[in-house]
Structure 1
């Protein structure tokens, strides 16, 4: 369990030459400790340069300047390698697409505060994390987020039984086919996931007039960067905003950065009187998951939520 399934899978793809060969390796040092080993190995194997942005865990007056300088230096390194492609007009165009996507995602999140949408929870889990975190901003993607919002705005309420349990999800859901499990949660247990930690739009709009500082702020605005107290403050706001009855935390094996403080997270919600369940699981390989045991624990957890005060 030294690394999670996702990092092990990526390493296998690198060493087996399954993944496309990159021209350069880029990463920041937040959210994943194991990825550092992965990128170093890939850089040596491919013989490609490896660039790294350091995001400090403790913020001081010069932190923003420090990260801004790193991003600007990286920008010029890439220009020397690939040529001057990022003109001011191109930066303004990309930032405009990114900001439009951000606004559409914010509208979708506001819609979810108003009602539980009748959408497969796995769809909701991934819309914003994938669109906002992994795909390049473009006109097509901005149009897509607008269409998603408009279509979801026409949907009614997924009310279900009277005793619906509204859960807030921390970290990530199961990432393999697990439809029977989610059907059981929704239809038999009356569970509705009202929001997910990874769907939170935490960053400010990008400013094309100050692009490097704007990108530095986006990195530093992330709830997972810095002390655990920042993550908990964001979780508190989301639990309250989406009227969650309880918190489900998934501890994926090998993820030191994001699950290392789980006992402090548990204590925090206990002090607030909010039921909390931690599932120690492998989110990427169903062969390692004992669903019978997980279902038993969830049943007990829901009994606590529904227990009369």
Structure 2
């Protein structure tokens, strides 16, 4: 019997082409004369960078790409040979090690040196140390936007004003100097309008995890859904078109009572367990990791990782009527800038609203931004919702810390726990 042909959706092909074009724009800097920035996903100012015709390169995305291509392990060992600790974020070590190995982009061409390091600090201290290392290497201007931590669980007008002041007095003049382009606030308004349109469609797609069977996987599939809006494409016409296309595909799956696509190109319809997942995924064994879930009939209906570049589902939109204030609000509300009680509130809300069977935490060995306090988060969400939690451990891009057997055993035990809870009448959810 012949194997059915794998399905590939148009949005996947479009996103792949968008990413390829951006890497080509980065690596052709010397031919085109365009300036290149390095920046991070949480709190990134993509719309503002586009106002200066600056191409956006994201070191953490490059580390993810290396992990998925099975190249990050060698880069990490190279960084450790030069003195970086085993406890350092493996995104950092993958990036540093890649620099020492020729710094080759996924298109096979070398990354050029950045013209500016644009750091929007949103709760991850590692980002600051990472850029200190890059500044020593590249000797280029570094612009830092300091974003106050929401320690009390909310932002204030003073926090917003503080960020806007930095944008006006430090970031925008710095980008003008690097690029030679004069800032045009109306140009920024246009990009923010496009961002809000794409954000509307992204939120609609993510919220379809409430449907049974879920037409999306909000963790493994979700990393693809969020790709354009969290990286170099928010504010572009391409992103607007991508999310329009993605929305139509999700709507089609709902109408056909289909689940999300798996890496095998088949629809995941036989859904037994609905999960909320906290923490980033493992990238070096991404497909194997994902397969462990759908082989057991587990679909992720909401996750915290798909909010790391913005909590759009909680109501935030980029606002062209208040452009600089909107950028400030965006940075303040990133998931990595939220305190632990706020994260607990959000995850408990997801468990209830998405009628999930429980919360699964993937604790990342080298990511303090996520892993700090996760056991407390799990226990508190269990207490509030009455649904069981579970804890697995992997790493971002270090293959030494992915134990397939250990992860599989813990997942199987967790699904047995959910079954016991159902039989005991303790779970309010019923699988579709």
Q: TM-score, normalised by structure 1?
A: 0.90
Compute the displacement of 1:147 (Å). 0.5
Aligned to 1:35: 127
1:134-173 matches, cutoff 5 A: 134-136=231-233, 137-155=235-253, 156-158=257-259, 160-161=269-270, 164-173=272-281
Alignment CA distance shift 1:296-1:258 (3 Å)? same
Supply the distance in 1 between the matched residues of 2:142 and 2:176 (Cα, whole angstroms).
15
1:10-25 matches, cutoff 5 A: 10-18=95-103, 19-25=111-117
1:200-239 matches, cutoff 5 A: 200=307, 202-203=311-312, 204-239=316-351
**Secondary structure in 1 matching 2:258:** coil
Q: Which residue, out of 381, 389, 399, partners 1:286?
A: 399
Per-residue CA deviations over 1:230-267 (Å, capped at 9, x if unaligned) read: 22222222222211111111111221122111122122
Compute the displacement of 1:191 (Å). 1.0
Per-residue CA deviations over 1:255-309 (Å, capped at 9, x if unaligned) read: 1122111122122123122211121212323343211111111111111111122
Supply the distance in 2 between the matched residues of 1:192 and 1:37 (Cα, whole angstroms).
36
Q: Cα RMSD (Å) of the superposition?
A: 2.3
Whether the 8 Å contact between 1:224 and 1:230 is mirrored in structure 2 is no
Per-residue CA deviations over 1:163-190 (Å, capped at 9, x if unaligned) read: x111111122221344344334213x22
**Secondary structure in 2 matching 1:243:** coil
Supply the distance in 2 between the matched residues of 1:20 and 1:279 (Cα, whole angstroms).
38
Supply the distance in 1 between the matched residues of 2:338 and 2:269 (Cα, whole angstroms).
39
Q: Which residue, out of 280, 298, 302, partners 1:195?
A: 302
1:94-113 matches, cutoff 5 A: 94-113=191-210
1:304 aligned onto 2:417: yes
Aligned to 2:224: 127
Supply the distance in 2 between the matched residues of 1:116 and 1:20 (Cα, whole angstroms).
46
Instruction: Name whichever of 281-290 and 206-215 sits farther off.
Output: 281-290
Whether the 8 Å contact between 1:55 and 1:67 is mirrored in structure 2 is yes
Supply the distance in 2 between the matched residues of 1:258 and 1:120 (Cα, whole angstroms).
21
Q: Which residue, out of 53, 61, 65, partners 2:145?
A: 53
Segments of 5+ residues of structure 1 without an aligned counterpart are none
Alignment CA distance shift 1:13-1:183 (3 Å)? closer
Aligned to 1:4: 89
Q: TM-score, normalised by structure 2?
A: 0.66
**Secondary structure in 1 matching 2:280:** coil
**Secondary structure in 2 matching 1:48:** coil
Alignment CA distance shift 1:215-1:118 (3 Å)? closer
1:176 aligned onto 2:277: no
Supply the distance in 2 between the matched residues of 1:278 and 1:69 (Cα, whole angstroms).
42
Alignment CA distance shift 1:207-1:122 (3 Å)? closer
**Secondary structure in 2 matching 1:63:** helix
Supply the distance in 1 between the matched residues of 2:167 and 2:340 (Cα, whole angstroms).
25
Aligned to 1:270: 382
**Secondary structure in 2 matching 1:194:** strand
Supply the distance in 2 between the matched residues of 1:291 and 1:22 (Cα, whole angstroms).
37
Compute the displacement of 1:121 (Å). 6.9
Segments of 5+ residues of structure 2 without an aligned counterpart are 1-85, 104-110, 260-267, 425-432
Supply the distance in 2 between the matched residues of 1:2 and 1:35 (Cα, whole angstroms).
15
Aligned to 1:70: 166
**Secondary structure in 2 matching 1:224:** helix
Compute the displacement of 1:85 (Å). 4.1
How many residues were matched structurally? 307
